[in-house]
Amino acid sequence: QKILKQASLPDQLNAQLNALYDVYEYNDMAAGEFDRLAAEFRVVLTNGEAVVSREFMGRLPNLELISDFGVGYDGIDVVAAREREIAVTHTPGVLTDDVADLAMGLILATSRQIPGAQRFIEQGAWQKGGYPWTRKVSGARLGIIGMGRIGRAIAKRAAAFNMSIAYTDRAALADMDYTFHATLLSLAGASDFLVVCTNGGAETRCLVNRDVLNALGAEGILINISRGSVVDERALVEAIEEGVLGGAGLDVFSDEPHVPHALLHRANVVVTPHMASATWATRKEMSRLVLENVNAYFAGEPLVTPIPQ
Ligand code: 8YV
| pLDDT tens-digit readout, 242-267 | 999 999 999 999 999 999 999 999 99
The rounded Å distance from CA 140 to ligand 1 centre is: 29
On the question of a common fold for 2-94+280-299 and 96-271, the answer reads: yes
Looking at residue 155, its pLDDT comes to 98
Tell me, using a 6 A CB cutoff, whether residue 285 lines ligand 1.
no
Quick check: 224 and 193 in contact, CB under 8 A?
A: no
Maximum alpha-carbon separation in the chain: 69
91 CA → ligand 1 middle, Å: 9
**Ligand 1: does its nearest atom lie under 6 Å from the Cβ of 72?**
yes
Ligand 1 near 277 CB (within 6 A): yes
Q: Per residue in 78-99, pLDDT tens?
A: 999 999 999 999 999 999 999 9
Q: How far is the CA of 219 from the centre of ligand 1 (A)?
A: 30
pLDDT, average across residues 223-248: 98
pTM value is 0.97
User: Hey, which residues are catalytic here?
Assistant: 227, 256, 274
Which pLDDT does position 152 carry in this prediction? Answer: 98
| Residue with CA nearest ligand 1 atom 6 | 72
Superfamily of domain 2-94+280-299, CATH level 4: NAD(P)-binding Rossmann-like Domain (3.40.50.720)
- Is 19's pLDDT higher than 90? yes
Residue identifier of the C-alpha nearest atom 5 of ligand 1: 70
Task: Examine the pLDDT at 309 and tell me if it is beyond 90.
Answer: no
If you classify domain 96-271 with CATH, what class do you get?
A: alpha beta
What per-residue confidence (pLDDT) applies to 159?
A: 98
Instruction: Kindly compute the dihedral angle of the four CA atoms of residues 271, 241, 226, 68, in this order, to the nearest 10 degrees.
Output: -70
Residue pLDDT, tens place only, 190-203: 999 999 999 999 99
Residue ranges of the domains in the chain? 2-94+280-299, 96-271
Nearest residue to 198 via CA among 214, 211, 210, 187: 187
Q: What is the pLDDT of residues 146-163, one digit of tens each?
A: 999 999 999 999 999 999
**Whole-number Å distance between alpha carbons of 80 and 53:** 8
